[in-house]
Each structure stands twice: as C-alpha cells, then as structure tokens.
Amino acid sequence: SVTIVAFGNERDVFSEDSQQPSLLRSYLGRSALVSQVDSSPSAGHVGSPVCTEYQACVFGNVRLVVRDCPVWDIFDSDWYTSRSLIGGADIIVIKYSVNDKTSFQELKDSYVPMIKKGLNHCSVPVIISAIGARKNGVPCTCPLCTSDRRSCVTTSEGVQLAKELGATYLELHTLNDFYVQKYFGGVLEYFMIQRLNQKSSEKMKKRKKTQKCHRVQPPQLEQPEKMPIIKGEASHYDADLHNLLCGCQCADVAFYPEDLSTVVEAHKVILCSVSHLFMLLFEVKSPADVRDASIVRTAQSLFTVEPGAASPPLPRGVPPCIPPVRVVVKDSIFCACLPDILHFIYSGAFQWERLEEDIKKKVKDPEKTEHVLEKVKCILQTPGKLNTVKDCRSHQIKRLYNTSLRLFFNTPVLADVIFKIQGATVPAHRAVLVARCEVMAAMFNGNYLEASSMLVPVYGVSKDTFLSFLEYLYTDSCCPASILQAMSLLICAEMYQVMRLQHICELYIITQLQSMPSRELASTSLSIVSLLKKAKFHNSDCLSTWLLHFIATNYLIFSQKPEFQDLS
C-alpha cells in the first residue's frame, strides 16, 4: 500500500470558485492508473473535519490511501494526530495558492518547522505544489509592498521553501489534464513506484534477518491491544466551555435589560478571550490599546456597566465572594437574543449558520435579524479589520477562539485564584478550571477550604509540570519536552482526573520510545523499569502493558541493565 498525506489549500481567499475539486481529488478522477475511488471525511474534532480520506487502487492491485487536510489548524490544536499523519505518510504533498501571500507566509514561518520536526530526517519524499496563475504579475519587491495581502508568491520563494524541506517544487498554473495528470501525476507516480520498491527491499531484508537470528529469544508475551481511546479520542474543549455556560458556575458578570426583568450570567475571561469589545468593557484594555473607534462606539451604544459594579483588585488571601459585574444591555432586541449569542460564543464561535437560524426563529423579522447579526460581527471584530459574513462562516473565528484563552494563561488579568507551588505563585481563573477539570470543579464548588480562599497551595507536583497542566486546560494542547516531563504530566493529569491529557502523555512516551534506535536504547540513562512502575502505580494500564511488552521485545538489551532485577 501507499499512503499520501496532503496539507494546505490550493484556493486563495479571494477565489470565487469554491466548488472546484482539490488537486488530489482531481488527480484521482483523471489518472488512468487509479481505480475504485472511495472518499470519507475523517474527524479529529467534533464539528470540525480534520481531513478527507480517499481510498483507491493504483497499478492494478496496490492499495492507495490519500488523506487531504486543507486546514493547517491541526498543527495548532491536535499535536498527536498531525504527528501520526506525517509519521504514517509515504509521500507528503504541500499545496498553496500563488495568489495568497499571507497563507504562504504563515506556512513558511509556522508550519514548515513543525513538518521538519515531524519528518525527523526520514526519507519521505515531499512535493510542494504552487497552484494558480498569478493575477497581478510578479509582485513588487520594494519594502513598502511586502505586506500587501494581494501580492503573489514568486517562483523563487517557492523554490527556496522546497530547498528548506528537500522537496520537489512544481508550478501548476491550472488544474487541467496536462498539469494534473501528466505533470503532477507523473512526479507522484514516480515517487509511488520508488516507495513500493523501497518497502519491498526492506521486507526482504527483514525476512533474511529473521531467518539468520538464532539468539536467545525473549519471554513470550501477547502483543498488547492498541489503545483506541488514544488514537481517536475527540477533544471536548468546546463542550466543556458550553457546559460552563449552562451550569452558570463561577459566573462573574450578569447582563440585564433596561427594565431589569431578566438576567443572563456569563464569565468575563471567556467573553474577553473572543472579543476586544468585552476587553474594553471590562477594562482589560483601554480605548488607546484597542485603537478602533468603531469598537469603542459599539461598546458604548450597546452596554452600560453599572457604577460601582466593577470588581476591585483583591489582596492576597481574600476569598472571591464579590457579586458579579452588572451590565445593562441597551438594545432590547439584542438583549432578547443574548442567550443564543452566548451559546454561540461558548460553543466555539464557529457555528454561524446555526446562530442565524436561532435568531431568525426568535426575532421573526429579517431587518431585526440582520441588525442583531451585525452587532455580533462588531463584537467579534478584530481591531482595524472589518469582519464579513464570509469570515464568520469560515474556520478563522474558531481558530482564534481555540488559542485565545492562551492570552489569559499564567497572567493576573481577571484572575480570581492564585496557586502557591514551590514558593512561587501562579494566577488562574476559576471559570476555566471548573469547566475543564471535574476535580477542580468539586474543589471550588464544594465544602472545601479552596472554595472560599483566594490562595490555594499545591503539593506533590513541580511548578513546571503544573504550568504545563494548566496550559492544557486553557489551550487544549500540550507538547512535552521529554519522556520524563511527559511522565510527570501524566501523573499530574491522573491526580486531577483529566483523562484525555493522560492519554496524550501515554502516546507521547510510546512514540518517543518506538523511535529510539537500539544503540541509544542500550546506552540511555532513562530507566524503562522505573517508567513501568510509575505507570502501574498511577493506573495507566495501557502504558504499563505496552512498556512490559517493550521490555520483553528488547529483552537482550534490558536484561543487561541493573534495574532489570527490580522486575518481579
């Protein structure tokens, strides 16, 4: 079999043809060597498809698997899925539009280093495809024009990117038969044949090596079952924050209509994470910081914070028992739709079509519906940029939302709890902690000392490990620096019963050990037996089973190590 993984979007942001098939789908439909094409979406996050998978036959009886990932977000939010995609690829295709300079620059600066790290000196062929005809010729190269969004990506920039990755560079001016089938297809089929020959050669070498091996065999152990929960466990980040809104735990802001007849509660840290307008309203930023008069005008025309309702900074040790900030909503129609708008924001701020439908049902007037939706766009607006309906319907808002809570990670801004650990203090926000961690939800809402205290001591874990744990709660992502750090984070995740983080750490440890050569395994000071003991003690059954099998598989190496005697 041959697996092709494609990253990037060949359509530029200004293209009107959104129905044009992708490069890989065009190739599968045009090539005479490909047959029995079947496609299915593959989801890594609820509501946000990571990639589309195509399965077909090539060269008669060779199974071809193509995974097309048009959105780069997977590298930001789902480390283990992106790493497994690169690790399982026989050929990698990177696509970009020559008319989208901004996306190309983001690819070059942010994602190419991640791809290089994922390849880790593997001999996987990479094809870089620059797609489209340049609309405004060769862009100006003077310093004043380098930030122009409409400037094109030059051939030299594409070739330089290909050199960085050791890739093959192709320019496809249009997706017709010549460029797709003969030009791109010819190069792709050459690499497919090369990879098939390489796999066949490796299989023969492995068979000869097995036949020659008459050394002492390790104890017989059954292959441990794969960990399905690690492989495909979906993120519940958006669901956690949505449940926080439904439960109204730790609410620190209350919205009222002008007649004060109803109340809708929310959380400042969540609102500020998606909106500069709310940052301005709750004095996280000043008008000078925002630098957008339209946002200031919208905030003043839509909301009024009641005098004396703003929460003063609390001295250390004082319990956070102050009432929520009272905000009056001046627009009655907007106020009636506020629950639906908050559900939209707390659910990830990407289900724009659903919000439109909910407001249409509630208002039942096209003009009023458009009025409310315009207000929502103003709330979500980035300073200096006008949000359009196209922006709201894209993945861009969700991407901003998934990473924006990072702005409040380990900062005292809006913090209402301080952890004391190893003589240092770490500020945090109860709303995020309660939403993302059931143990902390019980701790802050039950009859415990922490529920009424501003300062909360933490024991049994280092400051760096606890910061990594909090970073996961805020951003839904983590990237341990080493196997030992991953084990420490796994122990912390087990202590606070955050199972998904525990499984991510398990997968990281397994992946790192699997990629370690035998020579390095024999000389490393890392104690696999110690890892096994910790995994057993902290109820990591999948990891402990895998480590025991790993020790047995590498019996000759581990039987020479002193810690081997500690195994009962």
Task: Encode pLDDT of 168-187 as tens digits.
Answer: 999 998 888 888 888 998 99
What SS3 class is residue 262?
A: coil
pLDDT for res 87: 83
Judge whether residue 365 has pLDDT over 80. Answer: yes
**DSSP notation for 281-337:** HTTSS-HHHH--HHHHHHHHHHEEEPTT-SPPPPPTT----PPPEEEEE--HHHHHH
Cβ neighbors of 251 (< 8 A, separation 6 or more) are: 265, 266, 267, 324, 431
pLDDT for res 488: 95
Instruction: List pLDDT tens digits, range 78-109.
Output: 667 778 888 889 999 999 999 888 889 888 98
Q: What Cα–Cα distance (Å) separates residue 196 from each residue in 6, 38, 168, 211, 249?
A: 19, 22, 19, 23, 57
Residue 130's pLDDT band (boundaries 50, 70, 90)?
very high
What SS3 class is residue 456?
A: strand
Judge whether residue 226 has pLDDT over 50. Answer: no
Longest dimension (CA), the chain: 87
Q: Please report which residue ranges of 179-267 form alpha helices under DSSP H.
A: 185-212, 228-232, 237-247
- Mean pLDDT, to the nearest integer, of 431-440? 93
pLDDT for res 317: 41
Question: Directed axis angle between helix 483-495 and helix 463-475, to 10°?
Answer: 70
Q: d(Cα 490, Cα 504) in Å, to the nearest integer?
A: 8
pLDDT for res 19: 63
- State what percent of residues in the chain have pLDDT above 70: 82
Q: Which of 70-74, 255-259, 340-344, 431-435 has the lowest mean pLDDT?
A: 70-74
CB 327 within 8 A of CB 253: yes
Residue 24's pLDDT band (boundaries 50, 70, 90)?
confident
Tokens representing 559 are 């039987």
Tokens representing 307 are 């005098």
Residue 372's pLDDT band (boundaries 50, 70, 90)?
very high
Q: d(Cα 260, Cα 246) in Å, to the nearest integer?
A: 21
Whose CA is closest to 359, among 380, 338, 331? Answer: 338
* Domain boundaries, given as residue ranges, for the chain: 2-40+47-135+151-206, 236-308+322-383+394-402, 478-567
Q: Residue 66's beta-bridge partner residues?
A: 4, 54
- Mean pLDDT, to the nearest integer, of 520-541? 91
- Mean pLDDT, to the nearest integer, of 268-278? 91
Instruction: List pLDDT tens digits, range 150-161.
Output: 578 999 999 999
- State what percent of residues in the chain have pLDDT above 90: 36
Tokens representing 211 are 């036949």
Judge whether residue 257 has pLDDT over 90. Answer: yes
SS3 letters across 166-198? CCEEEEECCCCHHHHHHHHHHHHHHHHHHHHHH
Q: Which of 234-243, 452-461, 548-557 has the lowest mean pLDDT?
A: 234-243
Give CATH superfamily name and number for 2-40+47-135+151-206: P-loop containing nucleotide triphosphate hydrolases (3.40.50.300)
CB atoms within 10 A of CB 19: 5
pLDDT for res 225: 52
Residue type (1 letter), 364:
K
Q: Which of 9-23, 434-448, 497-511, 550-564 has the lowest mean pLDDT?
A: 9-23
Tokens representing 445 are 């809402």
Q: d(Cα 501, Cα 236) in Å, to the nearest integer?
A: 11
- Mean pLDDT, to the nearest integer, of 105-125? 84
Tokens representing 538 are 């902290």
Q: Identify the residue with better confidence: 376 or 309.
A: 376
Task: Write the burial class of residue 472 (CB in 10 Å: 0-12 exposed, 13-18 middle, 19+ buried).
Answer: buried
Q: Which of 354-363, 402-411, 509-518 has the lowest mean pLDDT?
A: 402-411
Which range is most confident: 12-26, 374-388, 534-548?
A: 534-548
pLDDT for res 510: 92
Instruction: List pLDDT tens digits, range 378-407.
Output: 888 877 666 544 455 544 444 444 457 888
First CA to last CA distance, the chain: 42
Q: Identify the residue with better confidence: 75 or 392.
A: 75
Judge whether residue 482 has pLDDT over 90. Answer: yes
Q: Can you say how many angstroms the Cα of residue 558 is from the centroid of all Cα atoms in its chain? A: 37
Tokens representing 490 are 């796994």
What SS3 class is residue 267?
A: coil
Residue 22's pLDDT band (boundaries 50, 70, 90)?
confident
Judge whether residue 352 has pLDDT over 80. Answer: yes
Summary mean pLDDT of the chain: 82
- Mean pLDDT, to the nearest integer, of 450-458? 89
CB 169 within 8 A of CB 130: yes
**DSSP notation for 43-63:** EEETTEEEEEEEEEEETTTEE
Buried b vs exposed e over 268-289: b needs ≥16 C-beta within 10 Å?
Answer: bbbbbbbbbbbbbbbebbeeee
Cβ neighbors of 94 (< 8 A, separation 6 or more) are: 6, 7, 8, 107, 115, 126, 127, 128, 129, 165, 167
Phi, psi of 148 (to 5 degrees): -65, 120
Task: Supply the DSSP symbol for 98.
Answer: T
Q: Which of 29-33, 54-58, 409-413, 452-456 has the lowest mean pLDDT?
A: 29-33
pLDDT for res 211: 64
Judge whether residue 274 has pLDDT over 90. Answer: no
Whose CA is closest to 417, among 450, 449, 446? Answer: 450
Task: Supply the DSSP symbol for 559.
Answer: T
Judge whether residue 503 has pLDDT over 80. Answer: yes
Whose CA is closest to 467, among 413, 515, 416, 421? Answer: 421
Tokens representing 212 are 């020659």
Judge whether residue 232 has pLDDT over 50. Answer: no
Q: What CATH class is the domain 236-308+322-383+394-402? A: alpha beta
Which range is most confident: 100-114, 134-148, 180-194, 411-425?
A: 411-425
Judge whether residue 215 has pLDDT over 80. Answer: no
CB 235 within 8 A of CB 77: yes
